[in-house]
Amino acid sequence: MTAVAEVQQDWVPSTRTLLIGDTDASPQGETWDVYNPATEDVLATVGGASSSQVDAAVAAARKAFPAWAALSGAERSKYLHRFADVLEKAADRLLPSIVNEVGCPVSLASYLQVKMAVDEHLRWAAEAAKTDRTIHLGEYDKPVPTMSDVVHQPVGVVAAITGYNYPLNLAIFKFGAALAAGCTVVLLPSPRTPLTTLFLGDLIKEAGLPPGVMNVIVGGADVGQQLSSHPGVDRVSFTGSDGVGAKIMEQAAANLAGVTLELGGKSPSIVLEGVDVEKIAVEMHLRWARNGGQGCAALARLLVHDSVYDQFLEAGASAFDQMVVGDPWDPATNIGPMIRPDHQARVNGFVDGAIDDGGRKLLEVTKPLPEKGWFVNPVLLGDLPHSARAVQQEIFGPVAVIVPFKDTEEAIRLANDTAYGLAANVWCDDPIEARRVAEQVRAGTVWINGGGAMRPDAPFGGYGRSGVGRELGEWGMKEYLEVKHIQWRI
C-alpha cells in the first residue's frame, strides 16, 4: 500500500442524506448495501428516495429554475467555477471514494476519474456559460421587411442519471452543461456507486449553489423510472446500457420530454496494412483493459490486417505481462475488479460462450486472482466469426476479441457491422488514407493513431444503439437549450 492509501479512512461522505432543495432529507425508501468490489466489504448501507421525495426533488428544481435561468451567463459561470474550486480542494476525499466504491485503480483514478473531470470538463462548462449564443439572421423582405434573431433558452428541469463506472465524470458531463445552460438538475447515480454522488451533495452546499438548483437523490430502478417519467422533468440525460436506455426513452416519451442517451458500444480498433505493430500493440491492449474494461468506449474489437496479424499477437504478449490485476490501492495495479459478482459472472460467461462457439484464448493473464474481490483476468479471444456474441455485444469487462481482415474495404465493412457506433480507432501510416477510413466508419468519435484525451470542447456520443444526442462541447450544451425565433417588422 502507498501513502495515498492513507486517505482511505476519510472517504465516506459526512452524511448519507439526500439533498432536496435547501434541506438534507433522510432517505425514506428502500435500503441496500454498497460494497467495495475489491474486498467484498460493505462500505455503507444506503437508503433511497421515496416516491414523495422524488416529487419533492423535482419540485425543488422546478421552483429554483426561474431565478437560475434569469441569471446572466457570467453569474452562472462564477457559481460553477466556485463549485470547481470546492471539488479541487476535496480531491483527496473524492479519490478514495471512487477507488473504494468503483474499484478503479488509483493509478488511473487520480487523473481520469477526478482531475480531468474537474479541471477540464467542469471548468470548460463554466466558461461556456458566458457565451452569447444569439444568432442575428438579418433582414428578410417577404412579404414585408422584417428582422430576426434566434435565441437559446434553457429547457428547464433535467434528470441526470449516471452509470457506475465513472461516477464523478459522468455526473459532471451532465450537470456541468445543464447548469451552464441555465437548467436545474436532479442527479441520480447508479445504485451500485452512490457514495461519491452523495458526497457531492455536501460539496454543493459548500460551494453555495442556490437551493434547488442541483438536487441529489439515490435509488434503484423504481426511482429511476419515476424520475424519467416525471411530468415535472423537461429532459432526461442517461448513461448506461442500451436496454435500460430504451426503457428510459419510452418513459420520457409519456411527457414528450427530450432525452440524451449515452449507451455504450462495441468499438473497433482497426490496424491497417503496413503499420508497425511493435509500436502500438501494448498501447492498444492496455487501453481497452483499463478500468477493468468497464468503459463505454473501450476499443475491445480489434480488426487487424492479415499481413500483420501474427506479428501483432506476438507483440501484444508483452502487454499482458504488464497487466496487474489486484488491489486498486497498489500503484502497480492497472486492472481492478468487476463492480459486482453478477457482472463478474456475466463477463466470465462471455468467455465461456466464446469457447463454446469455437473461439480460443489467444492471449491471457494467468496469474492467480486475489482470494477476495470480483476480479476477472484479461483475455484476448480469437478464431470467432464476426457474428459471434462476444464479437457483437458489449462485454464491459477485460475481454477483447481480434478479427483478421484482408483489405481496407473489408475492415470498414466489419467496423460498421455492429448495432453500436460510439467510438473507433484507425491505425494507419498514410494520413490521407487514415482520414478516408475514419470518415467511413459509423461512430461518434474516431481516433487516428491513438488520438488523445477526451476533449471537453468536442462532442461525445454515438450512432445506432450507442445512443441519442451528444455530451460535451457546444453540442452538449445545445442538448439543454431550446431554440426560439424572434421576428419583428422594420
Q: Cα–Cα distances in Å, from 429 out to 286, 381, 432, 440?
A: 21, 26, 9, 17
* End-to-end alpha carbon distance in the chain: 73
Per-residue 3-state assignment (H helix, E strand, C coil) for 217-261: CCCCHHHHHHHHCCCCCCEEEEECCHHHHHHHHHHHHCCCCEEEE
Cα–Cα distance, 424 to 438 (Å, whole number): 8
- For residues 102 and 339, the answer to whether their CB atoms sit within 8 Å is yes
The DSSP bridge pattern shows strands 360-364 and 379-382 to be antiparallel
> Quick count: other Cβ atoms within 10 Å of Cβ 411?
25
Task: Confirm if 441 and 409 have CB atoms less than 8 A apart.
Answer: no
Q: Which of 162, 179, 170 is nearest to 214 (CA)?
A: 179
Cα 441 from chain centre: 21
> How far is it, in rounded angstroms, from Cα 77 to Cα 128?
8
* Nearest-angstrom CA–CA distance, 114 and 110: 6
- What's the Cα-to-Cα distance from 58 to each of 20, 54, 165, 199, 202, rounded to whole Å? 9, 6, 25, 20, 19
Catalytic annotation, pick one of 101, 262, 471, 479: 262
Quickly list H helices, 379-430. Answer: 389-392, 408-415
Query: In the annotation, is 262 catalytic?
Result: yes
User: Packing angle between helix 221-228 and helix 51-70, nearest 10 degrees?
Assistant: 40
As a three-state string, the secondary structure of 25-59 is: ECCCCCEEEEECCCCCCEEEEEECCCHHHHHHHHH
Which residues are identified as catalytic?
Answer: 262
